[in-house]
Structure 1
Amino acid sequence: MTTFVDRVELHVAAGNGGHGCASVHREKFKPLGGPDGGNGGRGGDVILVVDTGITTLIDYHHSPHRKATNGKPGEGGNRSGADGQDLVLPVPDGTVVLDAKGNVLADLVGQGTSFIAAQGGRGGLGNAALASARRKAPGFALLGEPGQAHDIVLELKTVADVALVGYPSAGKSSLISVLSAAKPKIADYPFTTLVPNLGVVTAGSTVYTIADVPGLIPGASQGKGLGLEFLRHVERCSVLVHVLDTATLESHRDPVTDLDAIEAELAEYGGLGDRPRIVVLNKVDIPDGQDLADLIRPDLEARGYQVFEVSAVSRHGLRELSFALADIVARARAARPVQEATRIVIRPQAVDDAGFTVTAEDGFYRVRGEKPERWVRQTDFNNDEAVGYLADRLNRLGVEEELVKVGARAGDQVVIGPEEDAVVFDWEPSLAAGAEMLGRRGEDHRFDAPRPAAQRRKDRDAERDEAEREYDEFNPF
């Protein structure tokens, strides 16, 4: 049964926003008491949060589909819908988040570090929030936006100060068991260790973590053995420790050859050339092991390695090794740059950035932009007044003017949004909404007192000269 998983594909979906409510307040003798439809609630986010108490991604291996809850729709009486509940997914320290193409989205290191993997949809505005001096009782509301859905990959890279590397059965697990309180599986056959083991070592005033990497053999970087599966776990270490078996029973192997083979695999994997290395000659409690250690130690020291002779059984040389590692780790920590305070980078919108683009494609015109695409998702196309409101918003943004510039004519096909999620319609410039009670698109005169024709013309001229405020300036939705 699988107990350790360090790479999973996760399908996350945020909650949808609740729809806004179109409602009119009614009471005795006031059949049209004004709009009172509430806003829809926001959909819940899917959030990854580092929990140092977790060491594996096995929960997501068994349950890879995760979804947050939807926002509730608004109701009459100016009652807004409840927000959807965020879905918090705990992940181990050192988890890397990648998209489906392998691009790194986040590197989660440190307790409490979080990343929003999928953002919940915004709730739609009710007709009470859409009311204005010109649109006193909107007969429509905005729809809630769908939440984001992504396929992401989680990769665990163990956060350890010291990484033990070496051939199977070189004694890495035995060293961890005597240097720390970790209790890994130990046996006298290859590939006993199938998962990285992690232990905490205290040497004087320095506390550091130590991990072993199972399954390194020649060809590991190409997938032989278990090395390709676990080489990522040495990427964050401060020092590499080569554990060499001086008492191997395999006649075709010797410690120096083992060292060269492992170094070749590390070089093939890449990114580890700057890590300091030390060599541990293990199993010197065996007479033949001590003789071989005495023979090869001068050669290793001539290569520039710091060499330690140890025995996990007799505990010979372990104190010197633990303090030497503590010294290297302390120097590596001191050399790291001090983490700067979080900086907020403000990138103002360019003066000539209209917020959308219009391009002529094969037989139609495509409109792309964050605002137009969001407005389309929020529109109920079964409501003529809502369609008129959308047309007015697009017109105020300058979409119609831009369509004219690129050569669009009445009746041409216009597409808003990307290919996989687009709305297609035949363009009619300044198309009026279908409701007879409306004047210009989206206006409502149900509450207006009768005015003389001359006064109405004067008011229309004044309104034409007055710049209409952009709705998004005072509403975050």
Structure 2
Amino acid sequence: MSRFVDRVTIHVAAGGGGNGCASVHREKFKPLGGPDGGNGGKGGDISLVVDPGVHTLLDFHHRPHARATRGRQGRGSMRHGAAGEDLVLPVPDGTVVLTPEGEVLADLVGPGTTFVAARGGRGGLGNAALASRARRAPGFALLGEPGEYNDLVLELKSVADVGLIGFPSAGKSSLISVLSAAKPKIADYPFTTLAPNLGVVSAGETVFTVADVPGLIPGASGGRGLGLDFLRHIERCAVLVHVVDCATFETDRDPVSDIEAVESELADYTPALTEEHGAPDLAQRPRLVVLNKMDVPDAQEMAELIRPELAERGWRVFEVSTATHEGLRELGFALAEEVERYRAERPAPEPARVIVRPEALGDSGFTVEPDPEADDGFIIRGDRPERWVHQTSFDNDEAVGYLADRLARLGVEEELAKQGAQPGDQVTIGDVTFDWEPTTPAGLAMLHGARGQDKRLDADDRVTKDERRAAMKARRSGAGADEPVAEPISEDRAEDAKGAAGEVDEDEESEW
């Protein structure tokens, strides 16, 4: 049995980037021929693309998780890893992409319209790309970045020119079946229609689409019945048509009260697509009234009673019968006239523009904040510092030293010192926490040592923060005379650190 699904939550995970390779070229009589590790491949993106052949979100209801492939790892001999394959997810025309909080991210209207739901991570650089005057043969490579992971809500808003609204069993499905070639389910009990029906109507040279929106009853905008689920399908309609049952046997109902009840629900409903997204308020849409079931004798009497009252509101009234096809031709041409007027008033679509967001002048690209969960702790936030941490292999001392150089050149060390950070304080970047070592000079990596090592990390003999705390506790307990006390950093040691720093690696790629 087929199902109509117009709202789903999907979980998309783009592919991670491949790791770079740390390799040294070797051949006969040339054991150390220089670094030749290739870069890792980029991870695959996940995109939503409008496909005219897709009419429901049912596939996402059964398979809400989507994952793209990751990039391949780089290899020696300058062989770069292959990029992961992009994953394209077809969606129906009129799909709106929102965050779980309700923020509209994209309105996908028109075949081929594309939205990148999750971007793949960039591949890590191999040691060949990291070589510079300071590091002629790096013994490390950068790791690939993880791909984006997003939870998205997809809502389908039917792209129809005319929306048929009214109480259940008013004859909307019967009307769309005789106006077009649509074959909806028709029965004589309420809520027969459980999903919107779309039909294509031709009136002269005008071709337009008609949607049957079910479930509009008092309280629909608050979740009663089916109205809240399907009110969204009239947001894009150019014309709203009230379909009224003039032959109802319910004594507590009449056509005018039915119209007023539906209008009240339309006024209470707040569309997700505001005027900023090309959807004006529902109150501004033109209305037509269709008095249905004119083949029943009692319906003629009811129509004569309410026609003057409806005419006073400025609405055009049409008397039709879906059984005898009375008045259908006039109704079709009237709808075509309203649709043509709406299309003529709409502004011409503008081509998509490339949006460039330059960095603000003086923006350092990161922020330093006190850590609320740790005393004497700091949190560093920013795209580049967090990305660099993801790219660092912390089991390689040389890679850690390279990260320290990048952070120092960015100005992180200076900003920490300005905010009063002390040696040994905890600093958190992303999901990594480490003790701050301000005496580690940037640029000392040019002092050659074993591959994969950094002399600055091995030459630190400073008393740690834990040792200072232990000494303080011992002094307070009266046993502090025999405990070692942390010594301040001498001026000679500071000068040695400055002299060892040498020049900065200017050739390293700052973008990475």
TM-score with structure 1 setting the length: 0.91
In structure 1, the partner of 2:434 is: 425
Deviation at 1:389, TM superposition (A): 0.5
Question: Which amino acid is the alignment partner of residue 358 of structure 1?
Answer: V
Q: Within the alignment, does 1:150 sit opposite 2:150 as a pair?
A: yes
Percent identity between the two aligned chains: 67
Within 5 Å, give how 1:435-450 maps onto structure 2: 440-441=444-445, 444=448
Deviation at 1:31, TM superposition (A): 0.8
Question: Which amino acid is the alignment partner of residue 351 of structure 2?
Answer: A
Q: Within the alignment, does 1:76 sit opposite 2:76 as a pair?
A: yes
Q: Partners of 1:284 and 1:425 in 2: how far apart?
A: 80
Q: Partners of 2:504 and 2:448 in 1: how far apart?
A: 18
Q: Partners of 1:470 and 1:129 in 2: how far apart?
A: 9
Q: Within the alignment, does 1:353 sit opposite 2:366 as a pair?
A: no
Question: Which amino acid is the alignment partner of residue 263 of structure 1?
Answer: E
List, as ranges, runs of 4+ consecutive aligned residues in structure 1 with deviation greater than 4 Å. 442-447, 463-467
Q: Within the alignment, does 1:408 sit opposite 2:446 as a pair?
A: no
Deviation at 1:443, TM superposition (A): 5.3
Q: 1:84-127 CA deviation, whole Å, 9 max, x = no partner?
A: 11111111111111112111111111111111111111111111
What is the aligned counterpart of 2:297 among 287, 304, 313?
287
Deviation at 1:344, TM superposition (A): 3.2
Q: Partners of 2:197 and 2:215 in 1: how far apart?
A: 12
In structure 2, the partner of 1:371 is: 384
3-state secondary structure, aligned to 2:260: helix
Deviation at 1:350, TM superposition (A): 2.4
What is the aligned counterpart of 1:314 among 324, 327, 338?
324
Task: Please say which of residues 263-272 and 84-93 is displaced more in the overlay.
Answer: 263-272
Q: Partners of 2:385 and 2:113 in 1: how far apart?
A: 34
Question: Which amino acid is the alignment partner of residue 126 of structure 2?
Answer: G
Pairwise CA RMSD: 2.1
Contact 1:52–1:111 (8 Å) recurs in 2? yes
In structure 1, the partner of 2:335 is: 325
Q: Aligned in 2, Cα 1:308/1:442: closer, same or farther, shift over 3 Å?
A: farther
Deviation at 1:444, TM superposition (A): 4.2
Contact 2:132–2:505 (8 Å) recurs in 1? no
Deviation at 1:470, TM superposition (A): 5.3
What is the aligned counterpart of 2:288 among 269, 278, 303?
278
In structure 1, the partner of 2:482 is: none
Q: Within the alignment, does 1:107 sit opposite 2:107 as a pair?
A: yes
In structure 1, the partner of 2:463 is: none
Contact 2:132–2:508 (8 Å) recurs in 1? no
Question: Which amino acid is the alignment partner of residue 91 of structure 1?
Answer: V
Question: Which amino acid is the alignment partner of residue 44 of structure 1?
Answer: G
In structure 2, the partner of 1:384 is: 397
Q: Partners of 2:180 and 2:505 in 1: how far apart?
A: 73
Q: Partners of 1:77 and 1:359 in 2: how far apart?
A: 44
In structure 1, the partner of 2:506 is: 468
Q: Partners of 2:399 and 2:9 in 1: how far apart?
A: 40
3-state secondary structure, aligned to 1:311: coil
Question: Which amino acid is the alignment partner of residue 438 of structure 2?
Answer: P
In structure 2, the partner of 1:126 is: 126
Deviation at 1:56, TM superposition (A): 0.7
Question: Which amino acid is the alignment partner of residue 349 of structure 2?
Answer: Q
Task: Please say which of residues 344-353 and 115-124 is displaced more in the overlay.
Answer: 344-353
Contact 2:135–2:445 (8 Å) recurs in 1? no
Q: Partners of 1:24 and 1:345 in 2: how far apart?
A: 42
3-state secondary structure, aligned to 2:283: coil
Contact 2:162–2:239 (8 Å) recurs in 1? yes
Within 5 Å, give how 1:31-430 maps onto structure 2: 31-270=31-270, 271-362=281-372, 363=375, 364-417=377-430, 422-430=431-439
Question: Which amino acid is the alignment partner of residue 471 of structure 1?
Answer: E
Q: 1:266-322 CA deviation, whole Å, 9 max, x = no partner?
A: 111144111111100011011211222122111111221100011111111111111
3-state secondary structure, aligned to 1:251: coil
Question: Which amino acid is the alignment partner of residue 356 of structure 1?
Answer: F
Question: Which amino acid is the alignment partner of residue 266 of structure 1?
Answer: L
In structure 2, the partner of 1:457 is: none
Q: Partners of 1:384 and 1:445 in 2: how far apart?
A: 11
Q: 1:307-352 CA deviation, whole Å, 9 max, x = no partner?
A: 0011111111111111111111111111112223333343432221
Contact 1:41–1:71 (8 Å) recurs in 2? yes
Question: Which amino acid is the alignment partner of residue 285 of structure 1?
Answer: D
Q: 1:55-104 CA deviation, whole Å, 9 max, x = no partner?
A: 11011111111111111111111111111111111111111111121111
Q: Partners of 1:235 and 1:464 in 2: how far apart?
A: 66
Deviation at 1:252, TM superposition (A): 1.8
Deviation at 1:173, TM superposition (A): 0.7
Q: Partners of 1:120 and 1:7 in 2: how far apart?
A: 26
Q: Aligned in 2, Cα 1:278/1:182: closer, same or farther, shift over 3 Å?
A: same
3-state secondary structure, aligned to 1:273: helix
Question: Which amino acid is the alignment partner of residue 85 of structure 1?
Answer: E
Contact 2:164–2:210 (8 Å) recurs in 1? yes
Q: Partners of 1:159 and 1:442 in 2: how far apart?
A: 63
Contact 1:388–1:442 (8 Å) recurs in 2? no
Q: Partners of 2:360 and 2:83 in 1: how far apart?
A: 34
Contact 1:42–1:84 (8 Å) recurs in 2? yes
In structure 2, the partner of 1:450 is: none
- Unmatched 5+ residue regions in structure 2? 271-280, 452-497
Question: Which amino acid is the alignment partner of residue 289 of structure 1?
Answer: A
Question: Which amino acid is the alignment partner of residue 86 of structure 2?
Answer: D
- Unmatched 5+ residue regions in structure 1? 434-438, 448-459
Question: Which amino acid is the alignment partner of residue 326 of structure 1?
Answer: A
3-state secondary structure, aligned to 1:259: helix
Question: Which amino acid is the alignment partner of residue 110 of structure 2?
Answer: G
Contact 1:143–1:379 (8 Å) recurs in 2? yes
Q: Partners of 2:505 and 2:450 in 1: how far apart?
A: 23
Deviation at 1:445, TM superposition (A): 7.4
Contact 2:173–2:184 (8 Å) recurs in 1? yes
